[in-house]
Structure formats: C-alpha cells, structure tokens
Amino acid sequence: MTSPAVAALNLLSIIRQETDVIGVAVSFGKDSLATLDLCCRMFSRVEAYYLYRVRGLRAVEEWAKQVRDRHGVRVRMYPHFDLVRLYRHAILQPHWRGLDQTPRITMQDIEICFRREAQVEWIAYGWRRNDSFSRALIMRRYRGVDWSGRRIFPLRVFRRRDVYGYLASRGIARPPMLGRKEQGGLDFMPAAVSWLKNNYPDDWQRWEIDFPFSSVQLSDV
C-alpha cells in the first residue's frame, strides 16, 4: 500500500512537470508544516504566506524564523480575510467610528496579491479530507488538484496520525496545538488566546489593543 507521504509527493510531481515554483499557505500548524516540507522536497523554489489576526506578533515572527532557518523559505504576511467580518461587526472590540467602512477582502484577493508578489502560479494547502465535511467535499470534487484555481492539496489522504508520523520522520518538532481540532496558528478560540497570554505577554498586550474584549473568552479556560 502506498504511504500517504509517497501519495503526496506523487501528487506534487504532477504540478512539478509544469513549474519548479510553488506557494504554500502556512498557519504554522502541523498540517501546513508537513505540506511545506513536502513542497520543499519537490520544488526548487518555494514561497509561503501567513494570514495574521494581529500584525507583528513576536510568536508569529519566531515561527517564521524557524521556517526560514530550516527551509530557506520566506513567509509573507497578509491580513486574514476574516478581519473584515470582525471589524465590520465590532467583534471583541468597541463600535469604533468607521468600522463599518472596513474594506472587504477575500481569500481570492489574498491569493492574487501573493501570486503577484511571490511570482508563483500554484498554491499548496494543508487541507485534509477528514478535517470537515466541507473539505471532504472539496477533496472529492478535485481529487487533490484544483486545476482552474491552481490549488493543490497534498495531504488529502492523510489522517492526523499520518501528519504526526511524517513530522517525526523529518525531524520537525510538533507545533503547539491551538484552536479547534488541534489546529495550529493563532485564532480567536479560547485555547489559542489563553496560550498567547500565558506564553507571550507582550503579544497579548498588542492583541488587546486591537481586540480589547478578548479577555472575556478566558473566563472558562
């Protein structure tokens, strides 16, 4: 039986026949780190991007440095498209004047910007078919490759244990598990917010400037 890692490399090799450059969306969680490593094994140049909720956090900069030190890959930083919803509806913050005029951005807008700046055409995502029902439908529809959208999903057949096994085999330390379903990266889940406050108090201060009501989420943590 073909291992998930071999299946992922075989899938990436299809795109490698078209180009020697690929982009990777990273959250610094286990799935995106495995995807990044797989892409670095297949492509001569790899670019990456991260979507932040609060800009310039030391924790995120440290994660980006680890990626740069290991793979030589620069991680570009863009605002998360979900910030539009958060600001327009004043979530975890007062109703500051002008929030309802926050410019709208989408995932596609970020992809367009990243592709232009990094000079890449294809983008790899660390999505797995057992992440959620919606992602299972996406994997079934595209079978790992979205040709029209120029997106590829190398981990489509991976299970959680396969991801952990791959990281261990490559000597990549497990990232902190934050948020829902042990996903990495900083979002607004109570576990992630609590981790930030306890481990990076300076970042927590910056977080509270943008989202002053975040402490409310910690009442049950």
- The string of pLDDT tens digits covering residues 90-123 is 999 999 999 888 999 999 999 999 999 999 999 9
The mean per-residue pLDDT over the stretch 165-180 comes to: 88
Q: What confidence category does residue 1 fall into, taking pLDDT thresholds of 50, 70 and 90?
A: very low
**Please, are residues 17 and 34 in contact by the beta-carbon 8 Å criterion?**
no
Task: Please give the Cα distance from 19 to 199 (Å, whole number).
Answer: 41
pTM of the model: 0.91
The mean per-residue pLDDT over the stretch 147-165 comes to: 94
The mean per-residue pLDDT over the stretch 123-134 comes to: 79
**Please, are residues 79 and 109 in contact by the beta-carbon 8 Å criterion?**
no
Q: What confidence category does residue 6 fall into, taking pLDDT thresholds of 50, 70 and 90?
A: very high
Look up the CATH number of domain 4-176. Answer: 3.40.50.620
Those residues whose C-beta lies under 8 Å from the C-beta of residue 162, and which sit 6 or more positions away, are 4, 5
| 219 or 106: which leads in pLDDT | 106
Computed over every residue of the chain, the mean pLDDT equals: 91
Q: What is the pLDDT of residues 13-64, one digit of tens each?
A: 999 999 999 999 999 999 999 999 999 999 999 999 999 999 999 999 999 9
